[in-house]
Amino acid sequence: MTPDQSGAIWHPSPNFGPRRDGLTPSLIVLHYTAMDGAQAALERLCNPAVEVSAHYLIGGDGTLWQMVAEGNRAWHAGAGEWAGQEDINSRSIGIELDNRGTHPFSEPQMAALEWLMRGIMQRWRISAEGVIGHSCMAPGRKWDPGPRFDWGRLARQGLAAGLAGAPLPQTVTFAHFREAAAAAGFTAPADDQTLLAAVRLRFRPWGRGPLCAADFLPLSSLVR
């Protein structure tokens, strides 16, 4: 378990398989572990009885482990959909971050994540719009990487989509919001309030109350 040329400590998981239908990674899915420390998460992600894994795990101190080769299909996303496409595991690279979702992500961890993402995005030609949270593709079922994750920091470096400067809509209805959200990639089945929560969790975690014009603002940056 020594660092490989990418700087990651190779700690192989048996929980993987080939990508289906000739698919290659077009997405990066970010997660938090919601466990008591990186070692516990590492053990779980490599436990054949659990049947979950990810390509990478980043500890709070910035330590980086790789468990599945990028060309293979890790079992991290589960049921869900993004931009009308299912089998997210075959379309993505999964990165787990050692965090329970209740506190900010550390500077060493964020720096390691940014370094890792730059390489992945270059190798697989993944755009900033292809970087999503687990909650984006499984609204209501998953909440990670959660409201404490600094998406704005990634966006400022071109590593995730940021807020667009589009004008606010004059008509604010859930019908219009659903249309805008679907165009941005949020196509997984969800009721109105669950969809609103998923979009806010990604772009406006401070947002509260009923649907408002500001909830539309980030969606134009993801329109495909």
Confidence band of 164 (pLDDT split at 50, 70, 90): low
Mean pLDDT within 9-20: 97
The CATH H-level (homologous superfamily) assignment of domain 9-156 is Peptidoglycan recognition protein-like (3.40.80.10)
pLDDT of residue 4: 47
**Cis ω on the peptide bond leading into residue 3 (within 30° of 0)?**
no
- Residue 219's pLDDT band, with cuts at 50, 70 and 90, is confident
Three-state DSSP class for residue 9 = strand
For residue 72, is pLDDT > 80? yes
pTM over 0.75: yes
Spatial contact of 62 and 105, defined as CB atoms under 8 Å apart: no
Is pLDDT above 90 for 221?
A: no
In the chain, % of residues over pLDDT 90: 85
Positions marked catalytic:
96
Spell out the domain ranges in the chain: 9-156, 174-222
Say what the pLDDT of residue 41 is: 98
Alpha-carbon span 47 to 10, nearest angstrom: 15
SS3 177: helix
What digits encode the pLDDT tens for the residues 26-60? 999 999 999 999 999 999 999 999 999 999 999 99
94-138 pLDDT, tens digit per residue, is 999 999 999 999 999 999 999 999 999 999 999 999 999 999 999
**Partners of residue 17 on adjacent β-strands:** 73
